[in-house]
Amino acid sequence: MKAYQIGAQDGIDALVATTRPEPVAGPGQALVAPRLVGLISRDVQLLRGVYGARQPATRIPMSEGVGEVVAIGEGVTQVAIGDRVVCGHFASWVDGPFRSDVFAHDIGITHDGWLAERVVLPAAALIRVPDALADADVAGLASAALTAWNALIEICHVKPGDTVLCLGTGSVSLAALKIAKARGARVAITSSHDAKLATARTLGADIAINYRTSPDWAAEVIAQTDGKGADIVIETGGADTLGRSIAAAATSARIIVIGVSPGEGNAIPDYLSLILKNVTIRGIANGSRAMFVDLLDAMVANGMTTVVDRVFPFAEAPDAVRYFAAAGHLGKVMIAV
């Protein structure tokens, strides 16, 4: 089969095309033929050698996608040949609360990912895709959208009347925007590009703030919420934005930390504000299979779709990575296998 591997992990050009024998589904496993693969930020970090421990040069990357089951191993009853399937990238997190050991089976990191003509996946992690959802709507959900669902629904219990602040217009923020609006919340979003903010408004954003022209964007959030601030902050910016997220937060707000950018300054420059506002800061990592099922059901029930910026053919996967890394996109960048 044709595949890509991460190679030397010394930059975004490290991605290497290769061929290898088609894998075989063992007991409890399914052999899946990927159809569409989504890119996420850690794919680029992995190629640059800055995401956790270094992985074998032969690792097949990419943590999210949609595909068709083409073979099943002994004892598999969860899926059948011909099923269209997705799965979260923490393959062992089926249900229940987060456990630290879910990192031991991380698709596209510790185990081969989706950027190949065939991939072996644990059958218990797979989810049949509802017929109402197109490949492009589900291929890019396993990281960003599932994380946004966990943050807003499972952790923060977002409700009508809440104000949700999304930092930037990356995939997590756009997914959070749609989920929050479907639950009746008000959404504020930031970006350095007016065109991206205009698109965010068409997707339902109530407040759009350009942080280049309004560098004190926290004050803008306070001003445009009549002095209250955001009840929930989807913090994807990392250490350098956390202080402003606290400044933009309402009393008793919840800040969900998703971004892993290390930053250069003090992450919390104003501890007094943190205390006076009674703010809760919580880090999360992705979500479970059960959450993914709920997300898919909500997408069907609410007619939610995924914003797709561009789809590259499989032969142009390195170009897709370079395009994604340039960060000029709005919505998912995908690769058709």
32-81 pLDDT, tens digit per residue, is 999 999 999 999 999 999 998 999 999 999 999 999 999 999 999 999 99
Report the candidate in 34, 36, 27, 33 with the shortest Cα–Cα distance to residue 72.
27
Across the chain, mean pLDDT equals: 95
What is the pLDDT, as a whole number, of residue 128?
98
pTM of the model: 0.94
What is the rounded CA–CA span in Å between residue 119 and residue 99? Answer: 25
What is the rounded CA–CA span in Å between residue 19 and residue 209? Answer: 47
Residues whose CB falls within 8 Å of the CB of residue 123, separated by 6 or more in sequence, listed in order: 28, 29, 30, 72, 73, 76, 77, 78, 79
Q: Does residue 290 surpass a pLDDT of 70?
A: yes
pLDDT above 70 coverage of the chain, percent: 97
Report the candidate in 300, 302, 334 with the shortest Cα–Cα distance to residue 129.
300
Q: Does residue 201 surpass a pLDDT of 70?
A: yes
Lowest mean pLDDT among 95-109, 188-202, 271-285: 271-285
Helix and strand numbers, DSSP H then E, in the chain = 10, 15
Please give the angle made by the CA atoms of 25, 88 and 14, to the nearest 5 degrees. Answer: 80
Q: What pLDDT digit, counting tens, does each position of 249-281 carry? A: 999 999 999 966 656 666 777 788 889 999 999
Helix (H) or strand (E) holding 174: helix 171-182
Q: Does residue 237 surpass a pLDDT of 90?
A: no
294: amino acid identity, one letter? D
